[in-house]
Structure formats: structure tokens, C-alpha cells
Chains A and B, each alone.
Chain A
Amino acid sequence: MASEKGVDVPRALVSGPSAFIPAEQTLKGELDQDILIESFLSLGRADHATMVMALHPAYLSCFLRAQHALLELDGPLPCHWRHYIAVMAAARHHCSYLVQQHSAGFLEAGGEESWLSGLQHAPIKLRSLQTLNRLLAHRPWLITQQHIQELVCPGAEPRWSLAELIHAVILMAHAHSLSSFVWGCGLNPEPDHIGGYTFQPASPGHLPHSPHSPAPEDGRQELVEGAMEVEVLMKRMVELQQQEEECTQEEMVTRFERERSERIPTAVVRGAPPDLLLHLVEDPEFRYEDFAPRGEQSPPTMRAQDYSWEDHGFSLVNRLLPDMGQLLDEKFQVVSNLTYHRMAMHEGVDTHTLRKALWNYIHCLYGIRYDDYDYGSVNVLLERSLKLFVKTMACHPEQTTARIYHSFWRHFRHSEKVHANLIVMEARLQAALLYTLRAITHYMR
């Protein structure tokens, strides 16, 4: 009818929430319907991120709670500011998916449209977050109490209150890590996003499918190899748990440093941000930088035992932003305990060591070291293709490609790969938060 009146009717370009995961995999009946209904009711839509996360309903429900509190509930920052901060943060990782989601949220909350056309239109107070945003996204270990002081101390103009600042920091860290997830799961644009629809009529017989849909699994050879990999991994996990190997202090440090500075060649060329985001990113060249091999000027390691989420971060967040500490804590706990006791085709597997290795590897990439962890396990358990995926996702999410996604854990279910994605996302969030919270603690001292 609309078309009869000369109105163009858009047509969805994509099918399914993810370009990497076949639609039927995410929409299986085994999904927890309630959680999707719940999210539909609270968000007004079940967006692609939600649908993919729904593969892990336990996680999704606490994710949505935290996100809801962060964006909608009472807090020191006005709603449209929150969405704008998320836009600024997501733009750093060229995540047009989140930028568009939050732009819509921003406008809905009464934000001024001009702000979205460029940072220079936003209030100076928001722009003063740029340095922190940049560091938080790419090199959080560089955040010091000076950065906090510049924003918070009396006389700072414009001045942030600590509560506002911590709210903004969590928003940014949340958006950065969610960008990792969006890229890592290859989320398709929503039907109303740029790239998510077209006004071109469908060519007959052409099924809409995303530009980079998964390469069909082919070749028996690869399948056999994949199965072998799983067996090897299983064996190694068992071995590690039994192993009572003693090694020297030196050796332990070396192992940590080796993981931290291992050259995992993530994509060499980083594309310029898409036009949509160009004016929302300042200093787009600033990015994660590999830690130099030991001996050269590598920034000092942060010892997990000296500043941990459980002992320190939680209390600080809860103090400045009541309840937020609890919500984040829940998320971290759910992610670190999430397991279905299975791995690829095996059931009844204790995947604890593998999950731990993933988590600690990501923290290692961010320079956080656990005294009581042997980083040799990381090398044993995480094959190179997995490391490539994890490092790309955690450090350069915008460079994730379908190829990287498909080349690790070839025999695992998609839900297991999404599980890995969740671990990367939360570990990254915690790492970035720890550095910032430590800086704030030092400032408050």
C-alpha cells in the first residue's frame, strides 16, 4: 500500500543476528524464551546482541540488569549523556552497531541531534572525557591519578564529581567491551541500521544473506583435524591438572612475559573509521600497542593480588555508585562460573582450567599478572588460532573477520564460541576498570 503511494519500502538486508553464526543456531528452540521476552519488554526490541547472548541465558539476564541500571536507572548522569558517552566509546572501536544503537537512545532521551554530527558540538565537559576514553579503550595501564585529578579536582573546569566520573568510566568500559562482543560475534546491523536495509528490490531468487556469511564447512580432512585438536586439548587439560611441576621464579616471570609479548599478528592495516563515525573519534591512530619484549621499556605489570576486583574495585564502585558494584560483580561471577560441562563433542568435562587460561590470558594482554598462575598453561591450552581471535577481539576488535572467527575451535559449537566471546568481553571490562579504579583510589588517598 505504501509503495502504491510512491513511498519506498525498505527491505531487510540481513537474516539472523550474526554474520558468523547461522541464524538457525541462534534461534533454536532450546533458548530460554522468558529471558527474550523480558528483554523485549525492557528494551522494546530483541536486538541482535541480545539474541546472540541468549545462547547463555544465565549471563544475559545479569547483563541486561547491569546495562539497564547503567543506562536507565537513577544515576548521576542525565540519560542522554549516558548514551552519548557510550557513542563516544563505541566509536573508538569503529563499532557502528553500538554507535547507532546508542545514537537512537540518545535522541530518544531528548539529546540534541547536532551532537551526533561531531564531538565539537557536544558540551566541553563531555569532550573532556576523550583522553580517558582513548586510554580506557586501548591502553588502560597508562591511566594514572593525574588523569583523574584533571577531571575531578577543585578548579578543574569543567569539573566532574567522582560519582559522575565513575558512572562515565563504567559506561565507557562497558561500551568498549561490548564492542568487542559485537565484532567478535559478527553481529549484523539491525534492520533499521545503515547497512541493515535497502530500498533496492530483491532480485528474484536471491535470498538475503549477509556479505560475509560463514564459509561452508568443507573437506573431510579439516573435520578430522578439528576432532584431533579437541582430543589433544582434552588430554592437555587433564595433564595440567595432575601436573606437579615446580619451576623457578625466573621461569614463571619469563612465561608471563612470553605470553604478554608474543607476536600474534593481528591484521596489519587498520582501516580508517567509517564515515559515520569519523567525526566521533579523536586521534584515531591511537591504539593498543603490543608490550615490548622484556627488558625494553615495558610498562610495569599490575599484580592482581595488589588490586583486585573482589577486594578493592567492588568496594570503590559500590561506594560511589551504589548497587553498580553488585551488578558488575554478579556479571563477573556468572561469567567465571558459567559452564555446561561439555566441550565440543564431549560431555562431563571440567572446563575450569580452559576458562581460567582464557581469562588470565586476556588480563595478561593488559599487563595484569597473577602471582599464583603459571602462564605456561596458557601456551599449552590456547592454540595459536584461538590466541589470534582472543587478542584481536580484546585489543583490536574492529579487525575481527569471519576467517578469524571460523579458524579457532573448529569443532566447537557456536554457543561455545560465544561463551569464549563473553569471557573475553568481561575479562577486558574488568581489566580496564581495575586500572581506572586503582587510579581513582590513588587520587582519593
Chain B
Amino acid sequence: MSQSNARGGRWFFIKNVEKMSRVTTALSSNAITGRTMFCHLDASANAISVCRDASQVVVAGRNIFKIYALEEEQFVEKLNLRVGRKPSLNFSCADVMWHQMEENLLATAATNGAVVTWNLGKPSRNKQDQLFTEHKRTVNKVCFHPTEVYMLLSGSQDGFMKCFDLRKKESVSTFSGQSESVRDVQFSMKDYFTFAASFENGNVQLWDIRRPDRYERMFTAHTGPVFCCDWHPDDRGWLATGGRDKMVKVWDMTTNRAKEIYCVQTIASVARVKWRPERKYHLATCSMMVDHNIYVWDIRRPFIPFATFEEHKDVTTGIVWRHQHDPHFLLSGSKDSTLYQHMFKDATRPVDKANPEGLCFGLLGDLAFAAKESLISSDPSRKPYPGGDRRYPIFFFKKPDPTEQFAHVSSALSVFETDLASNRMDWFVKTAQLYLLCGKPFAELCDHNAKVAHELKRPQVSTTWTMLRIMFSDPANLTASGQNLNLSKLGTLPLMNSFNMKESGAGMGPESRLERSKGESRQDNSHLEPGNLHISNNNEENEETEGSEGQAEYMFGDAELDDDDLYSMEHDNPTEELEYTLPQEAFPLRHEIMDNPAAPEHLQQDKSDSPHVSGNEAEVTCLTPIESFSLISISQPLFSPSLRPASSAP
């Protein structure tokens, strides 16, 4: 605020402050309350907007234009602005905006190219005020100036933006984007004269409202259309853009060249983006196609949404935060003809359901494994960061609300390198050559493939084929071929425990040279030796590792930590393992699968067996963990309402 636009002049600045403070007061004196609720509209909405005091919302669409009051328990229809027996296309709205200073003033963008203003103070039933028909094509967006009562901006499919003075009958200036289709226009919240426009060809332009002859700046923000943009409410330089390329990007506009500082990859084209009030790093998005959810992202954690609202049954077309200083209420309209108020506390938190483990094979058989740090380390003394998180400033008096924080997840990443000498991938080629996938009855195919896998010393795969046969083939054949069908009996066999995932995890233990294969007359003994590395300071390459934290810092692991702690596993039952022999006749090993617990629960329950490889391949390939990274990350406090960190995360 204190750096208000130099060009803007003192007067506007003062005015600005006055307005802001007035609004703020309004909130504190009359705190918003409510609950998650919805109401049915008669038609699908294209856009919504709230009035300044957050007490009413307007919904606009092709066949709807109504105002609802937001009451404690419900939406109440206040006014239908669509009047007349056969409403004209001027009522077919692509966008709507409620003036943030003049509570009786609304503007709509019509699909036929009209820009219409509405005066709720009119005594007549028809509230239409002004009608501007200067655009030749659909108007995609209208935007009131945040502080100037009479200034309205429009952006149209015809490639033009027009600025209207509502006291005049015609536009006062026209801005040519020199390109088809303006998708969004937004006045800067801080710079009195500046507005941003986004285009179908992927460009974003910055204009000075006094200079209609040419844009101040232009850059390509996305491949394909940029459907939306939004200025950060507090930070003058930040502009968020969303595109058909499924990305949300945050641009720092204070530098000479617009600089992309954050990028969030969503799963569908981004139709709307709105910064969350009072949260510097949060923004909400919704999509135009396929995906009906609303996401709130912490832009520093671009791989998983911070919160999700999943109520809508068709695409969400309009989102707006109910009050410009309240982060807890989000309103949304949708093609499913409903209007929702979402309470932030009722949002789904995807991170709670996310699997914090990641496993990936490298091209040459190397194996990387990332897991929650707490799972990896069984040593209680190994605190992630004993000194506490230094990024909580000492004067951070407000205790952070747990619902406003991403779960602290710190991950450890281990990389196991394949011993090249014994790295035999012949089985892969042979498997490809010998498998039969058609041409015989199903059961025979399974038997054949089971046999192939068995001969290639891949007993679990072999068993899987057998299972497949049992599960999906004719039961008559089954009884003929299987003798050990009594699964419960098999379940009591002593050898089963020894052949489970824990053991394969243990197989990678440093000191254990595991002869798991002896019963199977296997040649490639698992042979694993650990060596490891500790990585100090911020390890940026690891940001993208699944399960690790986006922008979190990776701290030096305790260097003195005994590496064996990481990988040594208690063998559940070494003696049992000795007893383990694979029946020569191979297949009836179904019980193995039955006995294997589902991986995630297993991991969570048992902290000791972490570098835990739950694939079949892992047992065949000989793994030597010559490098293992121990990375400990600490997530940072994700917001600080009262202060902006001087340095943001790297």
C-alpha cells in the first residue's frame, strides 16, 4: 500500500486507503457466519459475483440472471433480473460483476456482444441501465475499476477491450489486442491505471488505461488460450494466469520481463483462478471441462491441491470468495444448475489421502524409493530437525491454525543401484518371447505362462498366473488341475510367512546376504551392500520426488547416523526363512498373495522395514544400495497473515 503507484498520484492513493479501511471495518464489525449450503437454480450458471458486504450474490447465465441473499442457513432468492416475456439476448450473460463500491451497480457481458449495466435502485421491474453494443462479438469479461465508480472495462471475442465511463453513452477508449479473442480483463488492485488482459493465443498484455494506442507489455504465458487471470490482492506484482494447457502460472510483473515464479499443473483446462483472501500463497481454480471440482492450491506445493471442494456434478463455471478479507467462504456456480457456499473447514484435503511413498525404477534397473521420513527411521533419537523450524519467526505470535497447514511430510529418498555384473535382464526378453497371450484356452495360457515364469525363476509372477487361472477360468478345470485348493489349509503352512514382502525388504538389508533363492535353485542371489551419501542443504532436484515436499528444504541428515539404521531390518523370522522351500511342482503358491498385506497399511504399521520393495522384480534383480540419500525435509508454515516473509522459499 505504501508504495502505491507513482503515476497514480497522491489523491487516488488516499482514496484507496479510505475505501479499503472502510471495507475492513465492515468485516470486523459484522463477521460472516454460515455453513456449507447450496440451492438449485433453474438454469446453468456462467458466472457469479458478490456484493461488497458479502450479503448477496448474483448468478448469471444464458437463461438465468438472479440475485440471492446469503443467509445463515440458506440462499434466498431476492430478485429476478430477467424480465419480459421473451428476454433478449442481452440477458444471455457470459460474465457478471457486482460493483465493489456502488452496491446498486452491476455489469454483465452478453454472448451477443452487448455490455449492459444494471441499477438495482431503479423503481421499475426492469433494472437495465445502460446498454453498450459496440463489440462485434461475444463479450467474455467485464470488470469494474476497484476504486473508480464509473469506470468499466470489457474484453471481447472480437479482440478489443473497451473502457466505459458510465456517465457517457459510449466507450471512452478502445484497446486493440491485435489478436482474436480477449478472454479476461482485470484491473490491477494496486496500480490505478493498469489492467491485464489475457488472450486466446496464449498472450497476456499489460495496458495503461490512459494509453489506448499500444500495450505497455506483452508476454506469452501459455500454449493455447489463457482463459483467466487474477491480480494478487495484496502483492502488487503478482499475476496469476490459467490456461487451456492445464497450468496455473504466477508471474512477477515487477521486473522488466514478466517472470514466472510459480507454476501449478492441474488435470484439466483452467477456467477461473481467484486468489484466496488473506493467504498470500493460496489460490482457487476450477476447470471448464471434465473435472467438476474446485481446487485451492498452495502455489509452493504445486503437485497436490491444498483443499478440494467436490460438490458439483457438472463443470464449475464461476467461483468467488465471499468476502475480500475472509478466506473461509467460497461461492461457486455450476452448469449443474446449483449455487454453492463452501466452508473451508468442510473441504477435502487430498494430502491426507495421498500415498507418501514413491517407488521408481531407473532405466538400468536402479531403484529409487522415497517414503515418509518417520517410516524410514526407526531410531527415535533421529529428530527431523531438533532445533525446531527456524522459519517460524520468533515473533510469530499467532499459533497457526492446523486446518490451514499442509501436513508436515518429510521424506527420505533411497537409491539402490543395480549391481551391473549380476544385472541380468535376460528373463525379460525371454518372458516376452515365451509368453503366450492368445491362441489357447485361457487356463492353458495361464499354465503355460506360469511355467515360463517359473523356469525363469520368477516365482511370484508364476504364482500370479496361477492365481489368474484359478480366479478366471472354469471351475471344473480348476478342481482337475489344482490339488491344494484348500486355501485355509495352505494358510497355515509354515513357509508362507517367510515369503512375504517384509522379507524382500529385509533382503536389501546391508548385512544380510539373503539366500532366498535356495529353495528355488536360483542363481542370482540377492546381494546387497549399502553405501550412502548424505545430502546437505537444499536439494532442489528432489522437489519433484513423489512424497517429498514441493518447496520444502532438505536439511542435512544427521551425518553421524549409522547407515545401518536405515536399512537394517529385523528379520521377523530368520528360522522360518531357512525352512522355506519352494515346492518343485511350482504353482500352488496362491497363499503368498493372500498373505501379503496391502502395501500402504503395511508400511504404516511397520516402521522397521522401510526401503521396502514390493515388486516381484526387486527380488530378481540384485540390488546394491551403493548410494542412498537421506533427505530430511521440513515443511514450512504455509501462511503468515500478518507478515510477508522477506525471502520466500528457494
Say yes or no: A246 contacts B133, CB within 8 Å. yes
Asked whether any CB of chain A lies closer than 8 Å to the CB of B136, the reply is yes
Asked whether any CB of chain B lies closer than 8 Å to the CB of A42, the reply is no
Once bound together, how far apart are the Cα atoms of A314 and B225, in whole Å? 11
Asked whether any CB of chain B lies closer than 8 Å to the CB of A30, the reply is no
**Given A310-B225, A315-B268, A372-B137 in contact, is the A441-B289 Cβ separation under 8 Å?**
yes
Say yes or no: B225 contacts A371, CB within 8 Å. no
Say yes or no: A316 contacts B111, CB within 8 Å. no
From A306, A311, A316, contact of B62 by CB (8 A): A306
Task: Map CB proximity to A onto B129-140 as digits: 1 under 8 Å, 0 otherwise.
Answer: 000010111100
- Segment among B74-82, B84-92, B416-424, B495-503 that sits at the interface with chain A: B84-92
| Chain B residues whose C-beta falls within 8 Å of the C-beta of A305 in the assembled complex | 62, 92, 94, 111, 138
The smallest beta-carbon distance between B266 and chain A, in angstroms, is 11
Once bound together, how far apart are the Cα atoms of A249 and B224, in whole Å? 33
Say yes or no: B290 contacts A371, CB within 8 Å. no
Asked whether any CB of chain B lies closer than 8 Å to the CB of A344, the reply is no
Closest to B139 in A: A372
Interface residues of B in 479-531 (CB under 8 A from A): none
Asked whether any CB of chain A lies closer than 8 Å to the CB of B157, the reply is yes
Once bound together, how far apart are the Cα atoms of A316 and B268, in whole Å? 9
**Given A248-B88, A371-B89, A371-B112 in contact, is the A312-B289 Cβ separation under 8 Å?**
yes
From B62, B113, B200, B268, contact of A303 by CB (8 A): B62
Once bound together, how far apart are the Cα atoms of A265 and B313, in whole Å? 45
Interface residues of B in 115-133 (CB under 8 A from A): 133
Asked whether any CB of chain A lies closer than 8 Å to the CB of B244, the reply is yes
Asked whether any CB of chain B lies closer than 8 Å to the CB of A206, the reply is no
Task: Map CB proximity to B onto A347-389 as digits: 1 under 8 Å, 0 otherwise.
Answer: 0000000000000000000000001100000000000000000
From A250, A372, A445, contact of B138 by CB (8 A): A372
| Chain B residues whose C-beta falls within 8 Å of the C-beta of A372 in the assembled complex | 111-113, 135-138, 157
Say yes or no: A315 contacts B290, CB within 8 Å. yes
Interface size class of A (residues with CB under 8 A): 20 to 34
The smallest beta-carbon distance between B13 and chain A, in angstroms, is 39
Asked whether any CB of chain A lies closer than 8 Å to the CB of B269, the reply is yes
The smallest beta-carbon distance between A221 and chain B, in angstroms, is 39
Task: Map CB proximity to B onto A245-271 as digits: 1 under 8 Å, 0 otherwise.
Answer: 010111010000000000000000000
Task: Map CB proximity to A onto B143-181 as digits: 1 under 8 Å, 0 otherwise.
Answer: 000000000000001000000000000000000000001
From A312, A314, A316, A445, contact of B314 by CB (8 A): A445
Once bound together, how far apart are the Cα atoms of A246 and B131, in whole Å? 12
| Chain A residues whose C-beta falls within 8 Å of the C-beta of B90 in the assembled complex | 249
Once bound together, how far apart are the Cα atoms of A347 and B418, in whole Å? 69
Say yes or no: A319 contacts B290, CB within 8 Å. yes
The smallest beta-carbon distance between A270 and chain B, in angstroms, is 38
Asked whether any CB of chain B lies closer than 8 Å to the CB of A444, the reply is yes
Say yes or no: B89 contacts A252, CB within 8 Å. yes
Task: Map CB proximity to A onto B263-297 as digits: 1 under 8 Å, 0 otherwise.
Answer: 00000110000000000000000001110100000
| Chain A residues whose C-beta falls within 8 Å of the C-beta of B314 in the assembled complex | 445
| Chain B residues whose C-beta falls within 8 Å of the C-beta of A371 in the assembled complex | 89, 92, 110-113, 138
Q: Taking each of A248, A249, A314, A441, which has the highest tally of chain B beta carbons within 10 Å of its own beta carbon?
A: A249
Main secondary structure of the interface of A (DSSP, over half): helix
From B113, B136, B200, B288, contact of A315 by CB (8 A): B288
Interface residues of B in 194-244 (CB under 8 A from A): 200, 224-225, 227, 244
Closest to A241 in B: B136
Once bound together, how far apart are the Cα atoms of A104 and B292, in whole Å? 44
| Chain B residues whose C-beta falls within 8 Å of the C-beta of A249 in the assembled complex | 86, 88-90
Task: Map CB proximity to A onto B88-101 as digits: 1 under 8 Å, 0 otherwise.
Answer: 11101010000000
Say yes or no: B157 contacts A319, CB within 8 Å. no
Once bound together, how far apart are the Cα atoms of A372 and B113, in whole Å? 6
Once bound together, how far apart are the Cα atoms of A48 and B135, in whole Å? 43
Once bound together, how far apart are the Cα atoms of A44 and B200, in whole Å? 37
Interface residues of A in 152-197 (CB under 8 A from B): none
Once bound together, how far apart are the Cα atoms of A305 and B113, in whole Å? 12
Interface residues of A in 304-337 (CB under 8 A from B): 305-306, 310-312, 314-316, 319, 329
| Chain A residues whose C-beta falls within 8 Å of the C-beta of B92 in the assembled complex | 305, 371
Interface residues of B in 305-342 (CB under 8 A from A): 313-314
Once bound together, how far apart are the Cα atoms of A372 and B134, in whole Å? 12
Closest to B288 in A: A311
Say yes or no: A314 contacts B268, CB within 8 Å. no
Q: Taking each of B89, B181, B227, which has the highest tally of chain A beta carbons within 10 Å of its own beta carbon?
A: B89
| Chain B residues whose C-beta falls within 8 Å of the C-beta of A445 in the assembled complex | 292, 313-314
Once bound together, how far apart are the Cα atoms of A371 and B111, in whole Å? 6
Once bound together, how far apart are the Cα atoms of A441 and B287, in whole Å? 13
From A315, A329, A444, contact of B269 by CB (8 A): A315
The smallest beta-carbon distance between B647 and chain A, in angstroms, is 38
Once bound together, how far apart are the Cα atoms of A315 and B225, in whole Å? 11
From A248, A311, A441, contact of B290 by CB (8 A): A441
| Chain B residues whose C-beta falls within 8 Å of the C-beta of A444 in the assembled complex | 290
Say yes or no: B133 contacts A314, CB within 8 Å. no
Once bound together, how far apart are the Cα atoms of A319 and B245, in whole Å? 11
Which 9 residue pairs of A and B lie closest in terms of their CB atoms, listed nearest first?
A: A371-B111, A249-B88, A315-B289, A305-B111, A371-B112, A372-B137, A315-B269, A372-B138, A372-B113
Q: List 15 A-B contacts (CB under 8 A).
A: A246-B133, A248-B88, A249-B88, A252-B89, A303-B111, A305-B111, A314-B224, A314-B244, A315-B289, A319-B268, A371-B89, A371-B110, A372-B135, A372-B136, A445-B314
B residues lining the A interface (CB < 8 Å): 62, 86, 88-90, 92, 94, 110-113, 133, 135-138, 157, 181, 200, 224-225, 227, 244, 268-269, 288-290, 292, 313-314
13 additional A-B pairs beyond A250-B86, A319-B268, beta carbons within 8 Å, are: A249-B86, A249-B88, A249-B90, A303-B62, A311-B288, A312-B288, A314-B244, A315-B269, A371-B92, A371-B110, A371-B111, A372-B157, A441-B290
